[in-house]
Each structure stands twice: as structure tokens, then as C-alpha cells.
């Protein structure tokens, strides 16, 4: 049993070292590959020989990290420590945890970079993988290790991911994905889905062991879905903030404003805006745009009720850009600007709106600039 455990520790791709006091009791092969430089020779006897932890202002300047960890009740926050000159890496991320009797600590070491300005990070190796997707506006993807950008987001693997974001609350069957992304391809579309799904998973988890299950895109009964326990999407937070803000609108104006303003901070644009002509995004995109418009309309109403013309104007101007043909929105915005004395801005906006409506519908705006008055706003 002990021999098998030792073999497992040696196989771990991260450095593992056990320290008693400040004495290194044992360390695996990955520790040696990271930190034992040829210039220093054999295995280190003390933890300060592992890395440059005693530098002024460094993490151990006020006391030994290993001794603090041994006396703690749980893992210390992960910190970056520079390595000695000649090591295979310029820095390591270190998580120190107590072991047993309060005299020993185990160090988990992973490769870092001395140029990284961060000194601390979450011990994500304990928490498991996580994916963060921003889909409101241009799509952005990151794991705990950092951004996962590149051309692939505009290619088929990226389109697959965006499609799954649009259908994030259900399992989507292979045939449905094929019909959406490869209409008319028949059985060939199903093969495309499987091929590019493999490519997507490789992009999201480049270090995933071959044959291992994906942490982010799971297979369920012949279909695919995002693993909602591991994938965070800005759309979910946006919807939650809108709901909370609207629910508070009638009873708690301050809470309503906080929720709605937070939602509109998250709303960086249309859902997967980099897929402008993707028909599979239309329904969900319109639904979210309607929610954003409702949030702006409510913020404008609340601002007018408390006499905040600046706040009302900002909300209505953004709403007018989202709804370029809505007469009530443009009339309310013009009324606010006229009340603020911004007559030139109001005249220009009205002229542009009138021309746009005439060009699109062949008719007038339905109101005159003189009719844009605060007392006429519903």
C-alpha cells in the first residue's frame, strides 16, 4: 500500500514536498524538476533551499511559511514565491497545508512566473476547474488559468460553444445542433458535431487526459450540455440582477436601482454579438434585449420620479439606441433634454429620428418636437 501511494505521488504533475519545521522531509520528482538547479547539487535540506522565500518583503519575511502552515487549521491561501536562479521556473505558486500533529506541512507547488504582479490567488487546484463565459457582447472565455481566446472562437468550435450558451438550460441533442449549424447536411452534420465538439473540449481543457470526461461540456443521453456547476455565464447574473431590481421597484427604490444598474453593467451588448446573423441566437437574443430594455425603462421612470433629469436622460438615451423606432422612448428622451435646456441636441435627435422612421416606414414620427414635454410623459 505504501509503495503504491509513493508511486502515485511521484506521478503527480505538481510538486509535492513535506516539511517538518524548516527541514525538507521528502519531495517528489516534480519538485526536483521545478526547483533543484544543477548548480546547487543534490536534494535540499531546508525549505529555504527550495525557493527564494527569505527575500526582504517576501512571503516568509515575517516568519516561515511552513511553520505557519503546520500550526494552522487548514490550507493557507496560495501565494507566489520566486525561485532560486538556475531553477527550471522563475517562480512557483505554493499552497501550504498542515499535516497531522502540528509539526509538519505539505507544500503543493505549481509553475509560476516572476513577472506576474499577483502575489496571491485562490487555491483552484483544491476547488476544481471552472469556466467563465462573457456572452453579452463579443464572446470572451476564461478558465482559472487565464483567458482562452483565439481564432477558434470565430470558428466551428466557438460557434458550438455559443450555441450551447444560447441553450444553456437544457440538453441539446446532436441532431438539433447539426440542423442549427449545418442545415441540410444530413448524416454528415452529425459527424461534424462530434468532430468539432472534440475540438471545443480540447480548447477549453487543453490538459485534459485523453479519454477523460470533460469538466465543462457533458454528454447526456445522446446530447450535449454545459456543466452548470462548473460554467459561469454573465447572462445568468444579468437575468438575476434584472429580476431582483424589478421585484424591488415598487417597494425599495434604492435596491431596485442597485439591481438594475448592475444588470446594465453586465449587458455589454447583444447576446453573442459576434454571431450577428446566426438564426439560432435570435430568440434568446431578443428575449435578453427585451429584459435590458425593461431595466432601462424602469431606471428612467425611477429617475424622473425623483427629479433626476440626468439619470433619466442617460437611461432613455441608451434605450433609444436599443429601440431606434420606439416613439414613446424618443419622445420621453427629447422631453428630458428640452427640460434640461439641451434644445440643439433635442432638435438634432428629432431630425435623425424623423428621417429614420420615414425611410423605414414611409411616415412621420407621430409627434412634433413641441409635443415632447415632461408633463406629457406617461
pLDDT of residue 186: 83
8 A C-beta contact, residue 47 and residue 66: yes
Tell whether 312 is covered by a domain: no
39, exposed or middle or buried, with CB in 10 Å at 0-12, 13-18, 19+?
exposed
Whether residue 138 sits in one domain with residue 122 = no
pLDDT of 88 > 90? The answer is no
Question: Grid coordinates in use for 243?
Answer: 429580476
Instruction: With respect to residue 315, please indicate whether it lies within any of the assigned structural domains.
Output: no
* 122 and 135, same domain (yes or no): no
Q: Residue 84's domain is classified under what CATH number?
A: 3.30.450.20
Final residue before a domain boundary, out of 248, 274, 305 = 305
In a domain? residue 316: no
Domain of 177, CATH number, reads: 1.10.10.10
Domain limits for position 335 = 324-378
pLDDT at 263 over 70: yes
**Do 208 and 328 fall within a single domain?**
no
User: Would residue 83 count as lying in a domain?
Assistant: yes
| Same domain (yes/no): 209, 160 | yes
Residues 117 and 137 in one domain: no
Regarding whether 247 and 377 lie in a shared domain, the answer is no
Tens of pLDDT, residue by residue over 144-168, are 778 898 899 999 999 999 999 999 9
Question: What strands, in cross-sheet order, belong to the sheet with 146-147?
Answer: 146-147, 140-143, 131-134, 231-233
Domain boundary among 94, 109, 127: 127
* pLDDT beyond 60 at 38: no
Buried b (16+ CB within 10 A) or exposed e, 344-363: ebbeebbeebbeebeeeeee
**Do 211 and 86 belong to one domain?**
no
Count the domains in the chain: 3
Whether residues 328 and 351 share a domain: the answer is: yes
pLDDT at 125: 45
Same domain, 133 and 115: no
pLDDT digits (tens, 9 = 90+) for 311-356: 999 999 999 999 999 999 999 999 999 999 999 999 999 999 999 9
Question: Which of 324-330's residues contact partners 24+ apart within 8 Å by CB, and which partners?
Answer: 324/353, 324/356, 325/356, 325/357, 325/360, 325/361, 327/365, 327/366, 327/367, 328/378, 329/297, 330/365
Amino acid at each position: 500500500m505504501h509503495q503504491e501511494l509513493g508511486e502515485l505521488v511521484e506521478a503527480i504533475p505538481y510538486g509535492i514536498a513535506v516539511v517538518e519545521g524548516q527541514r525538507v522531509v521528502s519531495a517528489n520528482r516534480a519538485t526536483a524538476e521545478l526547483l533543484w538547479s544543477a548548480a546547487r547539487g543534490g536534494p535540499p535540506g531546508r525549505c529555504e533551499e527550495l525557493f527564494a522565500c527569505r527575500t526582504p518583503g517576501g512571503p516568509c519575511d515575517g516568519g516561515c511559511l511552513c511553520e505557519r502552515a503546520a500550526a494552522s487549521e487548514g490550507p493557507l491561501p496560495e501565494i507566489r514565491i520566486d525561485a532560486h536562479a538556475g531553477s527550471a521556473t522563475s517562480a512557483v505558486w505554493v499552497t501550504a497545508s498542515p499535516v497531522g500533529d502540528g509539526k509538519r506541512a505539505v507544500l503543493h507547488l505549481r509553475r509560476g512566473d516572476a513577472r506576474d504582479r499577483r502575489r496571491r490567488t485562490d487555491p483552484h487546484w483544491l476547488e476544481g476547474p471552472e469556466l467563465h463565459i462573457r456572452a453579452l457582447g463579443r464572446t470572451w472565455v476564461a478558465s482559472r488559468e487565464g483567458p482562452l481566446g483565439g481564432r477558434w472562437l470565430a470558428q466551428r468550435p466557438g460557434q458550438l460553444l455559443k450555441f450551447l450558451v444560447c441553450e444553456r438550460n437544457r440538453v441539446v441533442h446532436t441532431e438539433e445542433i447539426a440542423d442549427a449549424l449545418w442545415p441540410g447536411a444530413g448524416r454528415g452534420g452529425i459527424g461534424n458535431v462530434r468532430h468539432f465538439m472534440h475540438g471545443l473540449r480540447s480548447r477549453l481543457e487543453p490538459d485534459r487526459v485523453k479519454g477523460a470526461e470533460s469538466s465543462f461540456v457533458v454528454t447526456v443521453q445522446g446530447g450535449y450540455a454545459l456543466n452548470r456547476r462548473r460554467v459561469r455565464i454573465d447572462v445568468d447574473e444579468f437575468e438575476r440582477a434584472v429580476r431582483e431590481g424589478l421585484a424591488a421597484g415598487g417597494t425599495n427604490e434604492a435596491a431596485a436601482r442597485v439591481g438594475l444598474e448592475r444588470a446594465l453593467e453586465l449587458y455589454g451588448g447583444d447576446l453573442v454579438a459576434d454571431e450577428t446573423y446566426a438564426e439560432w441566437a435570435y430568440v434568446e437574443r431578443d428575449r435578453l434585449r427585451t429584459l435590458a430594455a425593461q431595466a432601462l425603462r424602469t431606471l428612467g421612470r425611477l429617475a424622473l420620479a425623483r427629479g433626476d433629469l440626468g439619470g433619466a436622460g442617460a437611461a432613455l438615451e441608451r434605450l433609444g439606441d436599443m429601440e431606434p423606432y420606439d416613439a414613446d422612448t424618443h419622445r420621453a428622451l427629447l422631453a428630458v433634454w428640452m427640460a434640461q435646456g439641451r434644445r440643439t441636441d433635442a432638435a438634432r435627435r428629432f431630425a435623425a429620428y424623423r428621417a429614420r422612421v420615414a425611410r423605414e416606414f414611409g411616415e412621420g414620427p407621430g409627434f412634433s418636437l413641441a409635443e415632447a414635454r415632461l408633463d406629457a410623459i406617461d
